[in-house]
Amino acid sequence: MVDLAWQHAQIADEVMTGIDEVMRTTAFIQGPQVSTFEKHFAEFCDVAHCVGVSSGTDALEMAVRGLGLGAGDVVIVPANSFIASTLGVIRAGAQVQLVDCDPETYLIDVEAVERAMGPEVKAVMPVHLFGQAAPVDQLSEVVGDAFIIEDAAQSQGALRHGHPAGSLGSVAATSFYPGKNIGAYGDAGAVLTDDDDLAQHVRNLGNWGSPQKYHHPEIGFNSRLDSIQAVVLGAKLRRLGDWNKLRQEAAGRYDELLGERGRVAPPTVLSGNEHVWHLYVVRVPNRDEAVSRMHEAGIGVGVHYPIPMHLQGALSYMGYEAGDFPSTEAAAREMLSLPMYPGITADQQSEVIDVLHRVLDLIES
């Protein structure tokens, strides 16, 4: 489904040179490579600050904590997302309130957010899902004084009305998990913001609550981006724009191939968005059987996400039940992620769609 070897081949020499420099200087933690990457990624996202941390989940937690949210505060999160979106809030001590997704784009439903707003809601977390930005501009009209925390893990390079994902709300959290549009060679993440004080607070939190060695004015964590991952991310960042264009071209080919058959609808792109296609997600009947048959045929499809957030055992204490979020549940039954990465060829995509239609023929027969 994702060919990371293709990406590595593009940057292998540059990465090895950078790693050799880290080894020579032994600046493994918070070396100059980290600050250089943070500076360049902040510029890429059009924000003042990027603070590297150990993972996307840590970034979400640090964003929530950095805003001073905790016990008694409610954060609205879309039910159609990976569980990390809620775990970052829960680990910070705040309470999650889920809302449904839009049935066409799968992004957070703005009207559902408006209905859920109350005095206890201190923040809303739109998730920029599958490579396109959530309608943060529309959310800002209904959330009042509540913070907007962007979960930007799947959207590096995406634009909303010309503005980069990560620059649209009060603060953003992103992941550099290897399969993301820009991925490390392990776990890594970052917090993005224009707020000087918030950025410093997050940096302190990730450094054991310390702005200065051996001075710890608050409880903190050990969550820092390391120098070797910063080398990898820096090399990929220099190519991210070109790689996203390749993803967009691949998405256009899928659109054409699907349109020729008229059987499976291409994904919906929200007006005002420039999509960067972290995932190319379609909907098919009898999805689980389709996945099994496509795997048997050697096609690496995936499912994002088979179990809706509100039906996860870890969140059962919240009291949600099947039927509470019908758009999310319908999507969870039918969504199918097709192979998508820079470097996928037109012939490979034609094979994917040919196999998909043969599988659907078998299922329907």
Q: 123 and 67, same structural domain?
A: yes
Q: 323 and 244, same structural domain?
A: yes
Q: 251 and 194, same structural domain?
A: no
Q: Whole domain around residue 54: which residue ranges?
A: 4-235
DSSP letter for each residue of 135-202: -HHHHHTTSTT-EEEEE-TT-TT-EETTEETTSSSSEEEEE--TTSSS--SS--EEEEES-HHHHHHH
The last residue of a domain, from among 235, 269, 291: 235
Q: 276 and 201, same structural domain?
A: no
CATH of the domain at 219: 3.40.640.10
CA–CA dist 189, 18 (Å, integer): 19
Q: 253 and 231, same structural domain?
A: no
Q: 144 and 11, same structural domain?
A: yes
CA–CA dist 126, 133 (Å, integer): 9
CATH of the domain at 357: 3.90.1150.10
The last residue of a domain, from among 235, 266, 281: 235
Q: 160 and 11, same structural domain?
A: yes
With DSSP H G I counted as helix, E B as strand and the rest as coil, what are the percentages for the chain, rounded to 5?
45, 15, 40
Q: Which pLDDT score, from 0 to 100, does residue 365 have?
A: 83
The CA distances from residue 199 to 63, 196, 206, 213, 328, in Å, are: 9, 5, 11, 18, 33
Contact 258, 29 (CB under 8 A): no
The bridge status of strand 273-274 relative to strand 159-160 is antiparallel
Residue 94 three-state SS: coil
Q: 228 and 183, same structural domain?
A: yes
Sequence-separated (6 or more) residues with CB below 8 Å from residue 37: 50, 52, 225, 230, 233, 234, 237
CA 324 to chain centre: 24
Q: 143 and 44, same structural domain?
A: yes
Residue 272 three-state SS: coil
Strand partners, 94: none
CA–CA dist 361, 77 (Å, integer): 38
pLDDT averaged per 10 residues in sequence order, the chain, 365 residues: 94 97 95 98 98 98 98 97 97 98 98 98 98 98 97 98 98 98 98 98 97 93 97 98 98 96 92 98 96 97 96 97 98 98 97 97 91
Q: 265 and 158, same structural domain?
A: no
Q: 280 and 138, same structural domain?
A: no
Task: Work out how many domains the chain is built from and give that number.
Answer: 2
The last residue of a domain, from among 235, 261, 296: 235
CA–CA dist 205, 220 (Å, integer): 4
Q: 252 and 147, same structural domain?
A: no
